[in-house]
Amino acid sequence: MKLPDYLMILAEGADFEICSNRGYVITPNCVRRCIRVPQEEKLVLFEIYSHYNEEKGYAFPTQQTLALYLGISASTVSKHLKSLEQKGFIKSRGGKGKSKIYFPSFDLKNNVYLILSEWFFFAISVIRKKLHNSMGAEWANQLLQFVNVKISTENDLYGKFLIKLQKEMGFAFEEDVILEFLNCMKEYVEQLTMQSLDINWEKEIKTAIEKMKESKKGKTYKRKSTMNNRKPTLSSNDYDDPFDLLG
């Protein structure tokens, strides 16, 4: 049995005598691995996705419900919700005596946290190919210091690039910020490894985009095939993927 098939069966609750938590949530890896969004914060976001109501166009769980499902305090949930809103992953309405409702972003392709995170992982994939095999993986471990995954402010180098990118989104200098970021990462790894890296970022980006276009063609066909054979919905939480960043 393939793992996706088994997980589908598990989501249906077929393996349990009583299953109170059926269904599943689509969580793109780019969101699940996004830098500067703490894991607990992501779990709150995924619960918002889980409670999203297609007909109404929003999710409306109480903070107490989210706290119960995640095993954390309501005050912690409130803190994470505020952070997710500041980072552009959700919007909220209500409060002050009224139950809040939450609108997940349908424009994540323009979210600077996701964008810079994806460029970071792209840079790693390119750098890894350029480094000599004898370098091992220690350089990758030290890159965690570059991104400061546990930091809560944007006063460090990675955070300053986030702010720069936010200011230049949609403008001519957006690409310059990305190239500056990639070169900064390259120089950082060169200092770590004492090895010079010959990388033409413009060429690497062009090659990656061409590969992605080819990959999209294949995925479009597969998606159509999957939709034609789609199984019945698992629960009221099951929905088509509105967070598909590949378009």
Average pLDDT per consecutive 10 residues, the chain (247 residues; last block may be shorter) = 91 88 92 94 96 95 95 96 96 80 96 96 91 71 78 80 91 89 94 91 94 77 40 36 32
Shared-domain flag, residues 7 and 102: yes
Q: What is the pTM of this model?
A: 0.82
Shared-domain flag, residues 88 and 126: no
Contacts 24+ apart (CB under 8 A), 147-154: 147/35, 147/36, 147/120, 149/35, 149/36, 150/38, 151/36
Q: What was the pLDDT predicted at 152?
A: 61
Residue 235 maps to a domain: no
Q: What was the pLDDT predicted at 165?
A: 94
Q: Half-sphere exposure of residue 247, counting CA atoms within 13 Å on the CB side?
A: 8
Question: The dihedral of CA 117, 103, 170, 163: what is its sign?
Answer: negative
Shared-domain flag, residues 88 and 10: yes
Q: What was the pLDDT predicted at 163?
A: 93
Q: What is the CATH number of the domain that holds 82?
A: 1.10.10.10
Shared-domain flag, residues 45 and 76: yes
State the distance between the two ends of the chain, measured CA to CA, in whole angstroms. Answer: 30
| Residue 24, domain extent | 3-106
Q: What was the pLDDT predicted at 116?
A: 96
Measure the CA–CA gap between 200 and 210, rounded to whole angstroms.
16
Shared-domain flag, residues 136 and 150: yes
DSSP letters spanning 53-89? ETTTTEE---HHHHHHHHTS-HHHHHHHHHHHHHTTS
Domains identified in the chain, total number: 2
Q: What was the pLDDT predicted at 207?
A: 94
